[in-house]
């Protein structure tokens, strides 16, 4: 997400190791029947729409006791995106993650969604990458693994009226999805890059397949900027960011990387690989779900699909589970007759369940940068200076700059000195958030300037956004893209917080450790940008996604007019249908969300197994 200016040449890289199964059983399955032949109607107990982060997790668990088919529009990222989706560092510089309208397209991997003009961001249209591949966005994300706070999950429990959503009760599902490896200090081997963590919030004996580890390399610029966060006076976070607390500095973050070979760990390389070996899971790749079909009792009975134009349907004895992600899950519900009545009627879609919340309540935290040139190297400059050595270190030792996507983050609520000027309206809107819910996260990073030096970045993300976007449809068909309004910075409170966060970034750049590495004047936006109005206009011009959009099919209590699913992810007003992915979050968790996505899929799989 941070190194957009770098373009690394990547050509198709064929990995025959779609399944690195050691068990002969696994090989047999791969070569025979794990991949369905398209075009033939078939029936399974469960049909899962979307083979992404949540979809492959829940499908793999359900396949332990039932027949399951997964419908996925994409294919295998190892083939379609080569080492860019496998080598951690390359994942940070994938060209198609660019957010401008003219981004370099990668249709084998990305849905190519572009937002409507964003009023709060100078009417720019934003390309919003979303994984279109087995693994979904876990195959294109930046691999940070974190969990939310005690207060945020308590709020989730309160909103949905279900105490099983407190952190203490969810911990078993966070654990069940992950395999934790402590930092390899020999490979990291860097002064001052101490890792703080709490091993008690992982338990590999009860754990699952997603690899959670630390980079086998420490980026020198990030290391220096981590000292700057400390010098700012933030408190030390002695347990890392997986124990229900997001406050202060001190954590080199965990990443979804398999530490032994330093390859990206996705829902495909973890859950699916395992399920192919151990279960009868059936995958329909390159297959798009077009519509959910219902019987006369409003029970979801089948999904109409197409593979390269060939249309057929897959029936569900038990349930259909929609895991198509934050933009396509609400779209699929709407084209299937579930959503705001007026929208559906206007498009001639018969209304099965009038749920005004479908496609609403989009939370999307925004991200921007304050940049200086620095005199320290970064992963990108180290690779550029000696590519052969970096490659050898990666291939032979799973170490060096290619092996890590690891960053350093810090969290806080805007301190009193800067919030004293917030309007009364902003102050009271922010009072909705629990006391341990951070308002801003600072991400520090470095990338090559193009002339051999490093650009250092201090980048805030707004984690308590009050602006809301939405997803709409303009036709009855999934072949047309959904209309995406991100809503960015349309609530005046967000603009005030953004300006305060920007000022904090300058404070970080003015700490001793940052001053000892920075060179020349502030590069972006530059010292001339100093009034609140100018700062805000810089932010509106440059703000980008951090790709954490959520909550477009929000979970809530029965009777809440904006709720789409209940606390077991069942869609209100119909039967046999659940939405299990980031769209079902009641709000944007104040952190990088993939840990919570995997957790939720494990939790709902357990509900289904226990007939909830
Ligand atoms: C560039 C980027 C960087 C990110 N960085 C991080 C990070 O560092 N840490 C973090 O925690 N989170 C990160 N995220 C967010 C995180 O990856 C996502 O929130 C998470 O993966 C969402 O999971 P999901 O299951 O809801 O959707 P996805 O994983 O996107 O899965 C949806 C799947 O459904 C498929 N699909 C959609 N429509 C259809 C259809 N009609 N028919 C068939 N298939 C369909 C898609 O192809 C896709 O495979 C990042 C996201 C992106 C895009
Ligand atoms: C990625 O693939 C390209 C093209 O085959 C190759 O030149 C490059 O060395 C690879 N990089 C890594 C880190 O694997
Ligand atoms: C580590 O910390 C020491 C003491 O503060 C400092 O002198 C040294 O420059 C630091 N090194 C790095 C790489 O941050
Ligand atoms: C608060 O507002 C006052 C009056 O506009 C201004 O002088 C002061 O600099 C502001 N303080 C901060 C921290 O922005």
Instruction: Tell me whether residue 69 is in a domain.
Output: no
Under 8 Å between Cβ of 109 and 74: yes
Beta bridge partners of residue 575, listed in sequence order = 299
Provide the pLDDT confidence category of residue 30 given band limits of 50, 70 and 90. Answer: low
Average pLDDT, the chain: 94
Question: What is the value of pTM for the model shown?
Answer: 0.95
Provide the pLDDT confidence category of residue 362 given band limits of 50, 70 and 90. Answer: very high
pLDDT in tens, 39-97: 999 999 999 999 999 999 999 999 999 999 999 999 999 999 999 999 999 999 999 99
DSSP strand pairing (310-322 vs 577-579): parallel
The answer on pLDDT for 22 being more than 60 is: no
Which range is least confidently modeled, 13-27, 103-117, 399-413? Answer: 13-27
For residues 155 and 478, what is the distance between their CA atoms, to the nearest angstrom?
A: 34
DSSP strand pairing (254-255 vs 42-49): unpaired
* Nearest alpha carbon to residue 143 among 501, 585, 598: 598
Cα Rg, the chain, nearest whole Å: 23
| Ligand 4 pocket, Cβ-based, cut-off 6 angstroms | 417-418, 421
List, as one string, the DSSP characters of 23-68.
Answer: SHHHHHHHHTTSBPPTTS-EEEEEEEE--SHHHHHHHHHHTTTS-E
Q: Which residue has the higher pLDDT, 368 or 17?
A: 368
Q: Is 471 helix (H, G, I), strand (E, B) or coil?
A: strand
* Residue ranges at the known binding site for FAD: 547-548, 593-594
Instruction: Tell me whether residue 415 is in a domain.
Output: yes
The residue with tokens 């794990």 is 34
DSSP strand pairing (42-49 vs 68-71): parallel
pLDDT in tens, 176-202: 999 999 999 999 988 889 999 999 999
**Residue minimizing CA distance to atom 7 of ligand 2:** 10
550: left (phi over 0), alpha (psi -120 to 50) or beta: beta
Provide the pLDDT confidence category of residue 4 given band limits of 50, 70 and 90. Answer: very low
The answer on pLDDT for 533 being more than 50 is: yes
For residues 283 and 280, what is the distance between their CA atoms, to the nearest angstrom?
A: 10
The answer on pLDDT for 250 being more than 80 is: no
Work out the number of other CB atoms within 10 angstroms of the CB of residue 157.
Answer: 18
The answer on pLDDT for 18 being more than 70 is: no
Instruction: Tell me whether residue 125 is in a domain.
Output: no
DSSP state of 463: S
Mean pLDDT confidence for 474-486: 98
Question: In whole angstroms, how far apart are CA 367 and each of 243, 335, 587?
Answer: 24, 32, 18
CA 417 to ligand 4: nearest atom = 13
How far, in Å, from the CA of 10 to the mean position of ligand 2? Answer: 7
Mean pLDDT confidence for 546-562: 98
The total number of structural domains that make up the chain: 1
Under 8 Å between Cβ of 402 and 264: no
The answer on pLDDT for 2 being more than 80 is: no
For residues 255 and 89, what is the distance between their CA atoms, to the nearest angstrom?
A: 12
Mutate to test the pocket of ligand 1, among 325, 476, 598 (most ligand atoms within 8 A of CB): 325
| H-run or E-run covering 283 | strand 282-284
Report pLDDT for 13: 32
For residues 350 and 336, what is the distance between their CA atoms, to the nearest angstrom?
A: 8
Mutate to test the pocket of ligand 2, among 7, 9, 81, 83 (most ligand atoms within 8 A of CB): 83
Beta bridge partners of residue 42, listed in sequence order = 314
Report pLDDT for 27: 54
| H-run or E-run covering 78 | helix 77-80
Report pLDDT for 251: 79
pLDDT in tens, 377-434: 999 999 999 999 999 999 999 999 999 997 899 999 999 999 999 999 999 999 999 9
Ligand nearest to the CA of 422: 4
The 3-state secondary structure of 335-351 reads HCCEECHHHHHHCCCCC
Any idea what the CATH number is for the domain that residue 211 is in?
A: 3.30.560.10
List, as one string, the DSSP characters of 141-180.
Answer: S--EE----HHHHHHHHHHHT-GGGSHHHHHHHHHHHEEE
Mean pLDDT confidence for 212-218: 96
Residue range of the domain that includes 371: 178-264+366-464+489-542
Work out the number of other CB atoms within 10 angstroms of the CB of residue 569.
Answer: 27
The answer on pLDDT for 348 being more than 50 is: yes
Report pLDDT for 16: 34
The answer on pLDDT for 240 being more than 80 is: yes
**In the chain, what is the straight-line distance between the N-terminal and C-terminal CA atoms, in Å?**
38
Catalytic residue set: 548, 592
Length of the chain: 612
The answer on pLDDT for 10 being more than 50 is: no
Q: Is the CB of 51 under 6 A from ligand 1?
A: yes
Chain centroid to CA 561: 27
Provide the pLDDT confidence category of residue 35 given band limits of 50, 70 and 90. Answer: confident
Instruction: Tell me whether residue 402 is in a domain.
Output: yes
How far, in Å, from the CA of 521 to the mean position of ligand 1? Answer: 38
Report pLDDT for 20: 43
Instruction: Tell me whether residue 420 is in a domain.
Output: yes
Instruction: Tell me whether residue 524 is in a domain.
Output: yes
Instruction: Tell me whether residue 549 is in a domain.
Output: no
| Ligand 2 pocket, Cβ-based, cut-off 6 angstroms | 10-11, 13, 82-83, 87, 391, 394, 402
Instruction: Tell me whether residue 278 is in a domain.
Output: no
Tokens of 165: 């959503």
């Amino acid at each position: 997400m941070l190194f957009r200016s770098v373009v690394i040449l990547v050509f198709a890289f064929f990995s025959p190791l779609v399944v690195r199964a050691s068990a002969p059983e696994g090989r047999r399955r791969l070569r025979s029947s794990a991949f369905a032949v398209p075009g033939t109607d078939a029936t399974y107990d469960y049909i899962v729409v979307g083979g992404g982060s949540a979809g492959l997790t829940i499908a793999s668990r359900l396949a332990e006791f039932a027949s399951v088919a997964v419908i996925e529009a994409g294919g295998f990222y190892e083939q379609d995106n080569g080492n860019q989706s496998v080598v951690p560092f390359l994942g940070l510089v994938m060209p198609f993650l660019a957010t401008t309208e003219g981004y370099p397209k990668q249709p084998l991997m990305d849905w190519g969604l572009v937002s409507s003009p964003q009023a709060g961001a100078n009417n720019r249209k934003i390309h919003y990458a979303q994984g279109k591949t087995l693994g979904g966005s876990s195959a294109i994300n930046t691999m940070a693994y974190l969990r939310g706070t005690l207060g945020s999950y308590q709020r989730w429990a309160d909103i949905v009226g279900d105490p099983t959503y407190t952190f203490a009760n969810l911990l078993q599902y966070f654990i069940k999805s992950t395999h934790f490896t402590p930092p390899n200090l020999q490979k990291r081997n860097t002064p001052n890059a101490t890792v703080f963590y709490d091993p008690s919030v992982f338990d590999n004996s009860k754990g699952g397949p997603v690899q959670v580890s630390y980079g086998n390399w420490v980026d020198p610029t990030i290391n220096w900027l981590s000292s700057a966060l400390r010098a700012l006076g933030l408190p030390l976070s002695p347990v890392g960011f997986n124990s229900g607390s997001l406050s202060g500095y001190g954590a080199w973050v965990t990443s979804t990387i398999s530490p032994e070979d330093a390859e990206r760990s996705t829902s495909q390389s973890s859950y699916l690989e395992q399920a192919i070996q151990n279960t009868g899971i059936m995958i329909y790749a390159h297959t798009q779900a077009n519509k959910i079909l219902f019987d006369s009792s409003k029970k979801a009975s089948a999904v109409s699909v197409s593979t390269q134009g060939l249309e057929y349907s897959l029936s569900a004895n038990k349930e259909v589970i929609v895991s198509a992600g934050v933009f396509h899950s609400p779209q699929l519900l709407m084209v299937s007759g579930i959503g705001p009545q007026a929208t559906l009627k206007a498009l001639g879609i018969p209304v099965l369940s009038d749920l005004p919340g479908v496609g609403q309540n989009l939370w999307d935290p925004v991200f921007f940068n304050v940049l200086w040139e620095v005199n320290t190297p970064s992963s990108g400059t180290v690779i550029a200076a000696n590519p052969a050595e970096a490659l050898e270190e990666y291939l032979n030792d799973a170490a060096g700059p290619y092996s890590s996507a690891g960053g350093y983050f810090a969290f806080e609520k805007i301190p009193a000195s800067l919030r004293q000027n917030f309007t009364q309206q902003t102050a009271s809107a922010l009072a909705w958030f629990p006391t341990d819910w951070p308002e801003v996260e600072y991400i520090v990073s470095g990338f090559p300037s193009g002339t051999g030096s490093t650009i250092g970045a201090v980048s805030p993300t707004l984690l308590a956004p009050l602006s809301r976007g939405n997803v709409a449809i303009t036709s009855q068909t999934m072949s047309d893209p959904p209309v995406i309004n991100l809503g960015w910075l349309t609530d005046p409170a967000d603009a005030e917080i953004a300006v305060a966060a920007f000022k904090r970034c300058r404070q970080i750049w003015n700490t001793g450790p940052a001053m000892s590495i920075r060179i020349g004047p502030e590069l972006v936006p530059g010292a001339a940008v100093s009034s609140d109005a100018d700062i805000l206009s810089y932010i509106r011009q440059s703000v980008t996604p951090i790709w954490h959009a959520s909550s477009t099919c929000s979970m809530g209590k029965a009777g809440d007019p904006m709720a789409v699913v209940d606390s077991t992810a069942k869609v209100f007003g119909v039967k046999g249908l659940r939405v299990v992915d980031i769209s079902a979050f009641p709000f944007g968790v104040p952190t990088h969300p993939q840990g919570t996505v995997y957790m939720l899929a494990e939790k709902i799989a357990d509900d289904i197994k226990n007939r909830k």
